[in-house]
Amino acid sequence: MQVESLLTMEQNDKSDSSPYRVPLKPIDEASAHQSVASDDVTGSTPKVGDMTFAERWKTSRFWLVRATYHVGFSIWAVVIGIGAVIAWIIAMLFI
Buried b (16+ CB within 10 A) or exposed e, 4-30: eeeeeeeeeeeeeeeeeeeeeeeeeee
Higher pLDDT, 29 or 20: 20
Residue-range domain boundaries for the chain:
50-95
Give SS3 for 14.
coil
pLDDT at residue 5, as a whole number: 57
How does residue 63 score in pLDDT terms, banded at 50, 70 and 90? very high
% of the chain with per-residue pLDDT over 70: 57
Question: What is the rounded CA–CA span in Å between residue 22 and residue 27?
Answer: 15
pLDDT at position 92 over 90: yes
pLDDT at position 77 over 90: yes
- Quickly count: other Cβ atoms within 10 Å of residue 73's Cβ: 13
